[in-house]
Amino acid sequence: MKCNKIDNDQFYLKLKNEIDSVAGKFILLTRLLSAIEGISTDMPAFLQSPEGRAAFYNSVMKLVHDQIIIPVGNKPNTHDGLHLKYRINQEPERKDSYLMTQIIKSIQPPASLDYYIKNPHDFIQDRAIIDEISNFMKQKTKDLITVNERAYQLFGDEKFFKGDDKNRSRGEIVLKRLGLNYSSIGCEETVEPFFSFYRRISFQVIQDRFILLKTGIHFGHLKKISWIRPPV
């Protein structure tokens, strides 16, 4: 049997049998991996390939989807988006399998599935936002811009992530639920105060006042501009 012909169903059944053999309440990711490696002598090498890693990831996530195992911890511990430890669910609850499938398909690493697996109905409310963020995350290059600029770029509203009084807006809530932060989407927070600064020329104080309107312009850049002016 060739490894590249192995499908996800065989991985899934092997993992499920391994879980059923556990007497305790938890199972480690390393044990699941060892169970798959034991299928054949060339399986360890196959699991290092993109196809093998994808097959293992999909099988583990299907076990999560079927509520056979439940991730332990707030965030995945591996680059592939898997947890190092899982709790074995002794009494799986019945949930909408279609909805669970949509959650798994919509949210890919580095975003975390944890919140929406536990709160699937929130996924229905947040799906449009999740899809927009997920599509952006697939881009290979992301220019570093301000939070407001990114919010306007993605959602047409510069305050979608940050409210006027720095209260969390819906966009920031969804970002947190996905286990992401602003650096994940290539942006950074900036202050928007009223600035008044001075410079001294020929023992005279010349006051240059600038009001930073809500345009996302960096203060350092604006202050630099203020020094470029004809001598008095």
Please name every residue paired with 204 in a beta bridge, in sequence order, or none if there are none.
201
Q: Is the pLDDT of residue 211 over 50?
A: no
pLDDT in tens, 16-62: 889 989 988 999 999 999 999 998 898 999 999 989 999 999 999 99
Q: Is the pLDDT of residue 229 over 60?
A: no
**Neighbour count for residue 76 (Cβ, 10 Å):** 20
Instruction: Give pTM, 2 decimals.
Output: 0.46
Angstrom distance (rounded) from CA 147 to CA 187? 5
pLDDT the model gives residue 91: 64
188 Cβ contact partners less than 8 Å away, ≥ 6 residues apart:
144, 145, 146, 147, 182
> CATH number for the 3-92 domain, one of 3.50.50.60, 1.10.10.10, 3.20.20.110, 3.30.1300.10?
1.10.10.10
Each as own residue / partner, the long-range contacts of residues 175-180 (CB below 8 Å, 24 or more positions apart, any chain) are: 175/133, 177/115, 177/116, 177/122, 177/126, 178/107, 178/111, 178/112, 178/115, 178/130, 178/133, 179/74, 179/75, 179/76, 179/110, 179/111, 179/112, 179/114, 179/115, 180/110, 180/111, 180/112, 180/133
Angstrom distance (rounded) from CA 188 to CA 193? 16
β-pairing verdict for 69-71 and 85-88:
antiparallel
The answer to whether the Cα torsion of 18, 23, 26, 27 is positive or negative is negative
pLDDT the model gives residue 3: 46
Confidence of residue 162 (pLDDT cuts 50, 70, 90): confident
DSSP 164: T
Indicate the average pLDDT of the chain.
78
pLDDT the model gives residue 158: 87
Which range, of 50-54, 84-88, 95-99, 191-195, averages the lowest pLDDT? 191-195
187 Cβ contact partners less than 8 Å away, ≥ 6 residues apart:
144, 145, 146, 147, 149, 150
Domains of the chain by residue range: 3-92, 95-189, 194-226
Angstrom distance (rounded) from CA 184 to CA 187? 8
pLDDT the model gives residue 104: 87
